[in-house]
Amino acid sequence: MMKTKLRRAVLKALLNLPPRLLRRVVGPAQTNDRGDLLELQTQALLYLSEKGGIPRLHTLPVAEARAQTVEDASLVGGKLLVMANVTDLLAGDVPARHYDPGTGAKSPLLLFAHGGGFVVGDLDSHDRFCRRIAVEAGCHVLALHYGLAPERPFPAATDDALSAWRWARENAEKLGCDADRIVIGGDSAGGNLATVTCLRAQEEGLPMPMGQLLIYPGIDMTCQATSHQTLGKGYFLESEMIDFFVGHYLGEQDPTHVHASPSFTPSCAGLPPAVVVTCGFDPLRDEGDAWAERLAREGVPTRHRCEPGLVHGYINMDGLVDEAAQANVRLADDLQALFAGTVT
């Protein structure tokens, strides 16, 4: 813990150098294939990670990669906010954590699935983010720790997410929430699970969440979008890491199955209103952009925003990257819009 605190203090000091001096440290500005400028503190964080020899997750045994993910989140994440009540529980059979910021009875609820390529990530890796969005959006959050690959490969995570959705709907009142005001969301793999849960609920005739909060979601497991080639190296989430995740999650299973790659669904009609947020320097950018465009084209009320200077995973970088913190405020605004029914 002391080592992490010291590393965090050093990183924070470096990233808060005057911009002109920080630019001299990290080198020339970087742009992507669209001409977007990589945000300076983000570039510095990537530079320092490389120079510091931080191991890439895909080079580690799975258990070590999971531990590294939690440590990294603690290192770069924002302040651990204190709130009225935080409780670990089971959402049916799925481990979960309930965040109650003290908003009173009949509050809206975000059912949140963490990112991590279906292999890493847990309730602790996204604890800071869940606390912050609960406070800033004025809602309860129920965070899920679905089964991870390779121990529980596809479709286990989708089964867990659907089971947790059923449980949240049936037990909303016990949580102090309104069963008719539940948004499902997640980042990366969690964004995939959020939209797959909506597809499965539609297939099975279940009640639908009132909205989807999809943060740089993985939508197409074939990984053929152009951004996988143009942004697959140097921006935190890299092509080799994606291969590591997909290999553990799918193995030899069909990557075009709609419960793995919702982009292959024959229709989006009837899905809940969606907020889709992508990043300018993310290999998943183009598939997320395409998904937002398709949702809107097929009649789903959709708000789409690309954070042009940020990278995959930015929601956990808000303790060191000012623009990531501001982007998280925008996410809270998006969530409030979903709860208010004003996403059009």
CATH number for the domain spanning 273: value is: 3.40.50.1820
∠ CA 3-317-86, rounded to 5°: 80
The C-alpha R_g of the chain, in whole angstroms, comes to: 19
pLDDT value for 6: 79
Secondary element (H or E) of residue 289: helix 285-297
Full-model pTM: 0.97
Q: What per-residue confidence (pLDDT) applies to 1?
A: 52
Residue 51: pLDDT band (50, 70, 90) is confident
CA atoms of 281 and 232, how far apart (whole Å): 9
Q: How far apart are alpha carbons 264 and 257 in whole angstroms?
A: 7
Give Cβ neighbours of residue 344 (< 8 Å, ≥ 6 apart). 273, 301, 303
Q: Angle 322-340/40-51 helices, nearest 10 degrees?
A: 120
Structural domain harbouring 91:
2-340
Interval 89-134: pLDDT, tens: 999 999 999 999 998 889 999 999 999 999 999 999 999 999 999 9
Report helix, strand or coil for 75.
helix
pLDDT the model gives residue 333: 98
What residues are labeled active site? 188, 282, 312
The whole-angstrom separation of Cα 76 and Cα 188 is 18
The partner residues of 215 in beta bridges, in order of sequence, read 187, 277
Q: How many domains does the chain have?
A: 1
Pull the structure tokens for residue 152: 């529980």
Q: Answer whether residue 53 shows pLDDT above 80.
A: no
